[in-house]
Structure 1
C-alpha cells in the first residue's frame, strides 16, 4: 500500500523519501512515523538502492511531532506512543543503507531530531533548527538517546534547556549538520553527495555504518523519559497554554 503522509520514489541507485504534509509543515503524526519506518526498511531491502535521501515538501523540512497525537488516556498509551516513534526514528541507525537528510526551512522538535539522525545532513542557509519540547512539558526522547553522542553533552544541554533557534550556519558550527549551502544549490549538492555515497563499495559501506552505529546508546532511557513527561500535569499545562497562545503557569508535577 502506498504511503499517505510520504512520497517514496526510486531513481536507481538513490531512493528519496519525502515528508509530504506541507499544509501541516510536515508534522509527524503516528502514521507518518509508521510510514517512515516502512519506507526506510523497504529501501534497505532493495539491492538496487545504495543511498536514501530524506527531505520535506513545501516550506519546511518538519515542524515536529503532531501535537494532535499527544493526548493519552493511560500511562500505557503514553509508553506505546513513545516507544513507537522513537523506534521508528532510530530505524535510520539500524538499516545498513546510508541516509542523507536534505534540510530546508524549519526543523523543530521531532523534525530537528529527524534532520540530524541521518548519516549525513546537508542544510540550506535558510534552514532553522530548534528543540522546544520543554516549553510544552515534553522531552526530546530521540535527542536524549542520540544528541550527546552527536554534538557532546554541553551543546545538548544548551539546546534542550534554552530552546533557542539555530541558523543553518550555527547548526553546522556545533556539529548538528555536516554542510551548509545556499538554498539554490541544495538540490545539486545533495544529489552529488548521494551519488558519491552510492559509488562506494557496498560491503564497505554496510560495514562502516554498522560498526560505527554499534556503539550508540540504547533508546530505552529516552522512551522512559518521554513516557513520564507525557503523563505529567506539566505536559497538560504546556499543551493548554500552547493551544490558548499564552505562557504556561507551571505546576512542577
Structure 2
C-alpha cells in the first residue's frame, strides 16, 4: 500500500511530502496519523534540524478529504478533527524550524498547514483558498488564529466571508508568504535556505524562534528578560566560541549544535 507521506533526510533537513496527488494531496485520516508520527520523530531526531513541508506533484494540499463530510454525527466530527488539531499544534509548537513550500493549491486545512510553519515560500502558481463559507462552514485547523494575526481582522473577515482565493502575489503583499520563486527553482531555493539554517547555530535558532513566537503574548519587559536569559545560556555554548573564532580569523564557522 502506498504511503500517504514521503520522508527524506539529507544535510539535517527532513523533507515531508504529502503524497495524495490524485486528490490534490487532500489530507486523509491516514495522512494525519502519519504526519503526527513523523513530525514527532523529526522533533526527537538529532539528524533533523529543519523540516520542509511540501506536496507531491503540482499542488501543496487541497484541504481535508471530503469523504464522510455531511454524514458524520457531532461526536464523530469532534473526534475526526482532533488529529488535525494535534498536527497543527505540533508544527506550531515544535522547537525546530518548519518551512512550507507551496506550489498550486493550499486550500482549507492545507492553508492552515502552510501558514502554521515558520516560513512560507511559493511558486507564482500558488493559490490559498478559503471555501468554507461555500459549504456552510467556518475556518478551522487554526486559520481563525493565524490569518488575523498575519493580515489583520478586517482583511481576514473579508476573505473568509467571500470564500476568497488568494494569489501568490496577494499573499506576499499581505505577508502570508516570505517570497515567491519560479516553479522550476522553488525546490532548490527552499532546500538551499533550509540547509543554510540547518548548518547554523542550532540552539541560537531554536531560542530565537521560541522568543519570537511568544513575543505577541509578552510585553517589552518580558521579551527583554527572555532575551537576557537566552543570551546568557548561548554565550556558554561551543557554537558561540566557534562563531567568535571564525569571525576573528575571517573564516566560515562550522557549528556543531553544542
TM-score for the superposition, normalised by structure 1: 0.80
Deviation, structure 1 residue 216: 7.0
Deviations 1:152-197 (A, max 9, x none): 2122112211112121111111111111111121112101210221
The aligned counterpart of 1:52 is 51
The aligned counterpart of 1:174 is 174
Query: What is the SS of the residue equivalent to 1:192?
Result: helix
Given that 1:61 and 1:104 are in contact with CA atoms closer than 8 Å, whether structure 2 keeps it comes out as yes
Deviations 1:59-106 (A, max 9, x none): 211111101042454322221222321221221111111011111111
Query: What is the SS of the residue equivalent to 1:102?
Result: strand
The number of aligned residues is 216
The aligned counterpart of 2:184 is 184
The aligned counterpart of 1:96 is 95
Q: Which has the higher contact order (CA 8 A, sep 6+)?
A: 1
Deviation, structure 1 residue 124: 0.3
Distance 1:154 1:51 in 2: 33
Distance 1:216 1:64, change over 3 A: farther
Distance 1:91 1:159 in 2: 26
Query: What is the SS of the residue equivalent to 2:60?
Result: strand
Query: Root-mean-square deviation (CA), in Å?
Result: 1.9
Distance 1:73 1:188, change over 3 A: closer
Unaligned runs of 5+ in 1: 218-253
Distance 2:126 2:32 in 1: 22
The aligned counterpart of 2:69 is 70
The aligned counterpart of 1:32 is 31
Work out whether 1:197 is the aligned partner of 2:197.
yes
Given that 2:6 and 2:16 are in contact with CA atoms closer than 8 Å, whether structure 1 keeps it comes out as yes
The aligned counterpart of 1:137 is 136
The aligned counterpart of 1:246 is none
Deviation, structure 1 residue 201: 1.1
Given that 2:150 and 2:174 are in contact with CA atoms closer than 8 Å, whether structure 1 keeps it comes out as no
Distance 1:199 1:47 in 2: 13
Deviations 1:96-135 (A, max 9, x none): 1101111111111111111221101000011111111111
Max radius of gyration: which structure?
2
Given that 1:3 and 1:35 are in contact with CA atoms closer than 8 Å, whether structure 2 keeps it comes out as no
Distance 2:205 2:69 in 1: 38
Distance 1:151 1:204 in 2: 28
| Equivalences for residues 1-253 of structure 1 within 5 A | 4-71=3-70, 73-141=72-140, 142-214=142-214
Distance 2:215 2:162 in 1: 28
TM-score for the superposition, normalised by structure 2: 0.78
Distance 1:69 1:98, change over 3 A: farther
